[in-house]
């Protein structure tokens, strides 16, 4: 890992991003990728900010091991698929991916990893505000952005009934019906 030469302002931005990501229970390697902080510094930061926090304010947990890379999670049921579709739109709104006319979803190149991390947190926090009880975690969201933009294991399709865009497994047999239309057919929605 190259050490990033940062000004005090940039260092403060990296620190705030690391704390924000720890609050979302991001794994250490993701925080390192966005901030350039060493694993040791992240561990110490977590100990100071979360482990020893007031027991009445639940501290963030730390996940160990590899991040989830399965895409089966996102199409497990129509509710999670609808959440994934909402998140894909938020990724586009926050400048992390583009939705082109052919519905391909290339990544937006963001050179500064701190800026990219901040945009990702903005998108994820807006998602949580709209869908607060979703099981789709920060780590799931990170995997999903990668699966849509780089790995192309997920794609966007437009619904044949209501024309909404939705996320689908690239290898799935698909009936061109979005999660909402599968749960509530268009004919029953006034």
Interaction site with Zn ion (CB under 5 A): 159, 161-162, 164, 178, 181
Give the residue from 74, 93, 91 showing the smallest Cα distance to 83: 74
Q: Which residue, 100 or 162, is less far from Zn ion as judged by CB? A: 162
Q: How far is the CB of 134 from Zn ion (least distance, A)?
A: 19
Q: How far is the CB of 182 from Zn ion (least distance, A)?
A: 8
Q: Which residue, 153 or 161, is less far from Zn ion as judged by CB? A: 161
Q: How far apart are CA 107 and CA 68, in angstroms?
A: 20
Q: How far is the CB of 144 from Zn ion (least distance, A)?
A: 20
Q: How far is the CB of 156 from Zn ion (least distance, A)?
A: 13
Q: Which residue, 47 or 160, is less far from Zn ion as judged by CB? A: 160
DSSP symbols for 50-93: IITS-TTSPPPP---SPPP--SGGGGSSHHHHHHHHHHHHHHHH
Q: How far is the CB of 109 from Zn ion (least distance, A)?
A: 32
Instruction: Write phi, then psi, for 80 (nearest 5 degrees).
Output: -70, -35
Q: Which helix (H) or strand (E) holds 143?
A: helix 138-149
List all residues 6 or more positions away from 138 whose beta carbon is below 8 Å from its beta carbon: 21, 24, 25, 26, 124
Q: Which residue, 85 or 149, is less far from Zn ion as judged by CB? A: 85
> What is the CA angle 10-47-69, rounded to 5?
75
Q: Which residue, 90 or 165, is less far from Zn ion as judged by CB? A: 165
Q: Are 117 and 133 in contact (CB under 8 A)?
A: no
């Amino acid at each position: 890992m190259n050490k990033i030469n940062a000004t005090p302002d940039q260092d403060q931005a990296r620190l705030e991003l690391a704390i924000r990501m720890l609050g979302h229970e991001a794994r250490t390697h993701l925080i390192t990728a966005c901030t350039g902080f060493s694993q040791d510094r992240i561990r110490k930061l977590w100990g100071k900010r979360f482990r020893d926090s007031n027991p009445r304010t639940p501290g963030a947990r730390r996940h160990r091991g590899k991040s989830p890379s399965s895409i089966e999670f996102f199409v497990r049921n129509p509710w999670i698929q609808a959440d994934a579709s909402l998140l894909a739109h938020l990724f586009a709104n926050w400048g992390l991916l583009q939705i082109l006319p052919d519905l391909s979803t290339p990544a937006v190149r963001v050179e500064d990893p701190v800026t990219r991390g901040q945009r990702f947190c903005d998108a994820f926090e807006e998602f949580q505000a709209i869908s607060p009880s979703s099981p789709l975690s920060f780590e799931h969201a990170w995997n999903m952005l990668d699966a849509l933009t780089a790995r192309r294991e997920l794609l966007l399709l437009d619904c044949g009934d209501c024309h909404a865009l939705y996320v689908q497994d690239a290898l799935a047999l698909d009936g061109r019906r979005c999660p909402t239309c599968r749960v509530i057919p268009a004919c029953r929605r006034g």
